[in-house]
Structure 1
Amino acid sequence: MRLKPEDSAKVAAAIRAAEAGTDGEISAIVSPVSDSYADIVLQWSAIVALFPLALVAAWPSLLLKAVSPVIGWEAPSLRILLSLLTIACVILFAIARFVIGLPSVRMAITPRAIKERRVRARAIMLFRAGTEQRTLSKTGVLLYLSLAEHRAEIVADAAIHSKAPQEAWGEAMAALIEAMRDNRPGDGVAAAVERIGAVLATHFPYTGTDPNELPDRLIEL
């Protein structure tokens, strides 16, 4: 799923239109992925690598049957058996590390709860770095979309959160999700921005006293 150049223009126009009716600031960020999930890859690779040990522990005779074509009829020593078992584990780990490291596989095997937490953590980090510190009146809202996880988050400044709780962004998230299902991320972000602007206009209507402190454009990481 990718954004097209016209999507950026569409979102920028939506931000300008939404901010015309409010003193609040809207920032929209799209990221291809929120985390490398390297720990998940290593965990699953280790589990796969331990499979020969578990198999031999359950059925010891399988190891002898597996190595007999390699070493012949001579009874193998314990050192040889353990060495071959170690080599098998290392090979399996390397194969699993490569396969599970593929983006599509990595995303498929990562639990949904973990993806949700890490997308949320990345959204909060970006909000604190690029939105929270740049609005003097503490009226900034970040719409964050992570494409690989198919997850989005809305993070609001303290002044906004006190008047508009997390439930207030339900329509914005619904509009984004509906468009994402049709593979229209640009339309989804623009629609979500429009609804975020409606919430802000209700609680923080435009007064003309609050300067435009955030760029009116889609930020692609």
Structure 2
Amino acid sequence: MGKVNQFTPDDHKIVTSAVSLAEKTTDGEIVTIVTGESDHYGDIAWAISGLVALTALLLVSLFPELYLGIIDWLAGGWSGITALPYWALFVFTALKFFGTRLVLIWKPLLFILIPPPIKKARVRRRAISLFRVSTDHRTVGRTGILLYLSMREHRAEIVADEAIVEKVEPTVWGDAMVALIDLVRGGQPGEGMAEAVRKMGIVLAAQFPKTDQNPNELPDRLIEL
């Protein structure tokens, strides 16, 4: 996905160290992943373009005199057009449609227009997808957990394996999420993820204390996509 990550080599070291320290006290296995964006949102850009084109066509049909006046003005009062021809409506609508889509190639504008619920759903979907690939059922005790951060959407997700889900309510991770978002917003993404990992480690240590029978099964390093 998009490369808008703000993680430096030092940030990677901070997060990796936090994971290693947290896992010294628990059989839980923490995986950390950061990405620039969770989706390209091309379908949303096309949908917005279609909405703009249809809205423009509706305005033309409601106020044809206004557009006829503009054409007459551009022609210096000699257009001689009394009704908009169908081909002109088609060209006008097509220009609005493809023009909007061209403008929305600029991601900052597109992300302003995407409704927050759509961003939330796409980030969650991506987090679950990555969890299935990197964490799900890859530990002996089903104690893997993913901390996922999507920078452009300004959203994070925690997805846990079945043994953790059975013992820990999703709301328990609230403190970790708050710490993460606050520090990322303050320009400290590495510290944010590290602090979230530390808080996750406290919860995991209480429910899944460290035993000698549980090896380090998943990578401690921060994965940057």
**Shorter-normalised TM-score: what interval?**
over 0.9
**RMSD of equivalent CA atoms:** 1.8
Q: What's 1:127 paired with? A: 131
Contact 1:29 1:144 in 2 (8 A): yes
Q: Select between 125-134 and 10-19 the one with higher mean Cα deviation.
A: 125-134
Q: What's 1:219 paired with? A: 223
Shift of 1:64: 2.6
Question: 2:112 & 2:191 partners in 1: Cα distance?
Answer: 26
Q: Which runs of 5+ in 2 are unaligned?
A: none
**2:52 aligned to 27, 35, 48, which one?**
48
Q: How does 1:82-161 map to 2 (within 5 A)?
A: 82-161=86-165
Structure 1 residue 171 and structure 2 residue 175: aligned? Answer: yes
Shift of 1:63: 3.6
**2:208 aligned to 190, 204, 209, which one?**
204
Shift of 1:135: 1.3
Contact 2:71 2:79 in 1 (8 A): no
**2:31 aligned to 27, 32, 40, which one?**
27
Q: What's 1:190 paired with? A: 194
Provide, for residues 5-37 of structure 1, a one-character-per-residue CA deviation record: whole Å limited to 9, x for no partner.
110011000000000000110000001000111
Provide, for residues 147-196 of structure 1, a one-character-per-residue CA deviation record: whole Å limited to 9, x for no partner.
00000000111101111110111111111012012111000000000111
Shift of 1:100: 2.1
Provide, for residues 27-53 of structure 1, a one-character-per-residue CA deviation record: whole Å limited to 9, x for no partner.
000010001111211111112112331
Question: 1:105 & 1:208 partners in 2: Cα distance?
Answer: 52
Q: Select between 49-58 and 7-16 the one with higher mean Cα deviation.
A: 49-58
Question: 1:63 & 1:109 partners in 2: Cα distance?
Answer: 27
TM-score (norm 2): 0.92
Shift of 1:101: 2.5
SS at match of 1:141: strand
Contact 2:68 2:82 in 1 (8 A): no
Question: 2:209 & 2:152 partners in 1: Cα distance?
Answer: 35
Question: 2:9 & 2:76 partners in 1: Cα distance?
Answer: 62
Shift of 1:134: 1.6
Number of corresponding residues: 220
Question: 1:95 & 1:133 partners in 2: Cα distance?
Answer: 47
Corresponding letter in the other structure for 2:61: A
Contact 1:139 1:157 in 2 (8 A): yes
Question: 1:52 & 1:85 partners in 2: Cα distance?
Answer: 10
Corresponding letter in the other structure for 1:35: D
Higher helix share: 1
Q: Select between 132-141 and 186-195 the one with higher mean Cα deviation.
A: 132-141
Shift of 1:61: 1.9
SS at match of 1:155: strand
Provide, for residues 73-127 of structure 1, a one-character-per-residue CA deviation record: whole Å limited to 9, x for no partner.
464486x721112111111222211222311011111111111111111111110
Q: Select between 81-90 and 147-156 the one with higher mean Cα deviation.
A: 81-90
TM-score (norm 1): 0.93
Q: Select between 143-152 and 66-75 the one with higher mean Cα deviation.
A: 66-75
Q: Among all aligned residue pairs of Structure 1 and Structure 2, give the percentage whose two residues are the same amino acid.
A: 45
Structure 1 residue 13 and structure 2 residue 21: aligned? Answer: no
